[in-house]
Structure 1
Amino acid sequence: MATQIESAAQMAPPTPGEDKKGGLFSGERFATLGPLLALLLVCAFFTTQSDRFLSGQNFSLIFQQVMVIGTLAIGQTLIILTAGIDLACGAIMAFGGIVMTKLAVTGGVPPFLALLIGIAACGAFGLLHGVLVTRVNLPPFIVTLGTLNIAFALTHIYSKDETISDLPSLFTALGNSFKIGSTSITYGSLLCLGLFILAWFVLSQTTWGRRIFAIGDNPEATRLMGINVKRHLVMIYLVATVIYGIAALLLISRTGVGDPNAGQTENLEAITAVVLGGTSLFGGRGTVIGTLIGALIVGVLRNGLVLMGVASIYQVLITGILVILAVTVDQIARGRAK
């Protein structure tokens, strides 16, 4: 047994940000540097194409547009770091949004309690994901593909395909803004940024966060070190879906309604942000700051193309190309690391 533990310790991944080979341009800093450089290049390009791009108001608009996707991507990052994936994040967000708004508007439930119930409804999906992945040993792709359809159906059944309006002020408060100079900043944008900072702290400065990297890099070695991998995975899926519930509130605050048709493409956009941010789809490597940069790349790209008058279909085309390039780079990096 002692030999197994020593072997596991040797196989265990380094602390996030530590370079396995000691190279100068590897580890967390390099994983973040690439996406950051790409973001700067995209910004530089659009600055030359439109005099409206480089303004505080425009950048505030970009962040408002990506705050929902960015928040979803935080939860998606936690799961992808464990070598899993969540195809249902957008549908779960939509379901949580409908639950909280309908309870508050037509159910007579106090707004704050309705909000908590909506987030708990999202969390229930996380528990289901965790149990099916760890106890039944189903692949995360299959589990979340199934719950995507379940959440989508439940959203439309419960809402009766009706948009929920006339919301309590609690649900729209994060859509309010304040000004710094001539730039309007919404409270929802600040919440999103705060969630990224909190996620960065948890992943890089806490034992629980480091175990996420360990599970994604080598779950068997992590288990031999005495860590309950299954319990941690269930908790990771639960935390991710609770974050989706917060994303639902941000979406409601931005649109002012509970929309049963929300979340139909947000799952792919969240995965795109994670991949563009340098997080490996094979698990064990990536940063949540990279995810923020990835979300901003998508937001800047779409905003800049709109300012240039480019048709929206080309935005989808270019985003797809970028995803393939990002995964290709990741695959090459993994091959060189072996």
Structure 2
Amino acid sequence: MRSPVTTSPADDSEPGTALRDTLRYALRTPAIGPLVALAIAVLVFSVTTDTFLTPENLSLVLQQSIVIGTLALGQSLIILTAGIDLSNGAIAVLGTLAMAKPVFEGSSPAAALLVGLAVATCLGLVNGLLVARLDLPPFIVTLGALTVIYAVSRLYSQSRSYPVTSGLLLFWGNGVHLGSVLITWGTFLLVGLFAFFWYLLGKTAWGRHIYAVGNAPESARLTGISVRRTVLSVYLTAGLLYGIAAWQSFGRIPNADPNSYQTANLESITAVVIGGTSLFGGRGSIIGTLIGTLIVTVLRSGLTQAGVDSLYQDVATGTLVVVAVGVDKVLRRGSAH
């Protein structure tokens, strides 16, 4: 007697199923999409321009990524808790002035450096206290701080810039030469900072608390996590990172100007969002932010070399942000079902 012929549903070994699973995994892994976008951008500009893929230009792209990357790192921590910081660029600017002006007037570079780092850290702490202790909306708090800090910067500097000649303050602009290519110490510091915070977010209780608070603050509180303390620690840490970014900026431009970095807050947010971190909190990766920073810098560099007007560059960057937020919204809605 012949046994009946049975059919089984398609299993995971079928090519179509495997492809769908791979695409689904890629969409749900925050760093995969940005990495693909970065590779495409590099490929396009390598084909359309003659100078983009030269070692000297790639070194320049890395140097241009340092300040925005460090600002974006602090921004990432805040956005992971479902907050936002519009004042990070202003804090960095005041930090540069707090470092450069005293040295220009004859003070010790080491003391001025510590003062600048302390100023930035304290401003981050103030933002954190207003958000965590008074439950004020992060957007409103940091928008107000943006206006106040830029005004204080102009008052403190008397609306003038201060050249920087101190070897200590210029340290991150030095580095090692590989042929004609300069790899600055600031580049090494940026990679080290991202590696350090990647470890903190992925391997420590503090990192798990940040994700928990951003994903569901009430549930985090019920499990014993101090939501206020976690949020406060994030703003405090971000403030210190903004101070480090201020120090790093002298390695690129040896000058403290109260009118500099006017769009640094938006560029850092762009890097975080393009890097796959959700503006709604609780989802994202530090590595994605690093890739997002490179995307922003590569886009600027490539479009500039292609002769595209800076206004159109802003249009392209803004469009990327909207698309990235839209994709994140769709993914979150899909995961909720």
TM norm. shorter chain > 0.5? yes
- The answer on 1:207 being equivalent to 2:235 is no
- The answer on 1:100 being equivalent to 2:99 is yes
* CA distances 1:166-220 after superposition (whole Å, capped 9, x unpaired): 4311111211232123321111111111111111111111111111101100111
* Correspondence for 2:156: 158
Cα distance in 1 for partners of 2:300, 2:81 equals: 30
Q: Name the SS for the 1:318 alignment partner.
A: helix
Cα distance in 1 for partners of 2:305, 2:193 equals: 29
Cα distance in 2 for partners of 1:75, 1:86 equals: 9
Cα distance in 1 for partners of 2:61, 2:23 equals: 33
* Correspondence for 2:240: 242
Cα distance in 2 for partners of 1:299, 1:278 equals: 16
Identity %: 49
Cα distance in 1 for partners of 2:27, 2:169 equals: 37
* CA distances 1:204-255 after superposition (whole Å, capped 9, x unpaired): 1111111110110011111111111101111110000110000001112211
| AA aligned opposite 1:183 | V
| AA aligned opposite 1:34 | G
Cα distance in 2 for partners of 1:287, 1:28 equals: 14
CA contact (8 A) 2:52 2:302 kept: yes
- Given the superposition, is the C-alpha separation of residues 29 and 57 from structure 1 closer, same or farther in structure 2, using an over 3 Å criterion? farther
Q: Shift in Å at residue 109 of structure 1?
A: 3.1
Correspondences of 1:229-308 after superposition (within 5 Å): 229-308=227-306
Question: Which structure 1 segments of 5+ residues have no match?
Answer: 1-21
Work out the number of aligned pairs and report it.
316
Q: Shift in Å at residue 28 of structure 1?
A: 9.7
Q: Name the SS for the 1:170 alignment partner.
A: coil
* CA distances 1:68-125 after superposition (whole Å, capped 9, x unpaired): 101100000000000000000000100111011112221x432112111111101111
* CA distances 1:267-306 after superposition (whole Å, capped 9, x unpaired): 0000000000000000000001101111111111111112
Larger radius of gyration between Structure 1 and Structure 2: 2
Provide TM-score, normalisation by structure 1. 0.90
* Correspondence for 2:64: 65
Question: Which structure 2 segments of 5+ residues have no match?
Answer: 1-20
**Greater shift after overlay, 255-264 or 90-99?**
255-264
Cα distance in 2 for partners of 1:191, 1:197 equals: 10
- The answer on 1:146 being equivalent to 2:144 is yes
Q: Name the SS for the 1:283 alignment partner.
A: coil
* Correspondence for 1:9: none
CA contact (8 A) 2:164 2:256 kept: no
CA contact (8 A) 1:101 1:167 kept: no
* Correspondence for 1:79: 78
**Greater shift after overlay, 82-91 or 130-139?**
130-139
Q: Shift in Å at residue 27 of structure 1?
A: 8.6
Cα distance in 2 for partners of 1:102, 1:131 equals: 28
Cα distance in 2 for partners of 1:134, 1:151 equals: 20
Provide TM-score, normalisation by structure 2. 0.90
| AA aligned opposite 2:34 | P
- The answer on 1:88 being equivalent to 2:87 is yes
| AA aligned opposite 1:295 | T
Cα distance in 2 for partners of 1:103, 1:210 equals: 40
- Given the superposition, is the C-alpha separation of residues 28 and 113 from structure 1 closer, same or farther in structure 2, using an over 3 Å criterion? farther
* CA distances 1:297-327 after superposition (whole Å, capped 9, x unpaired): 1111111112211212111111011111000
The root-mean-square deviation of aligned C-alpha atoms, in Å, is: 1.6
- Given the superposition, is the C-alpha separation of residues 53 and 337 from structure 1 closer, same or farther in structure 2, using an over 3 Å criterion? same
| AA aligned opposite 1:118 | G
Cα distance in 1 for partners of 2:325, 2:145 equals: 25
| AA aligned opposite 2:198 | W
CA contact (8 A) 1:82 1:283 kept: yes
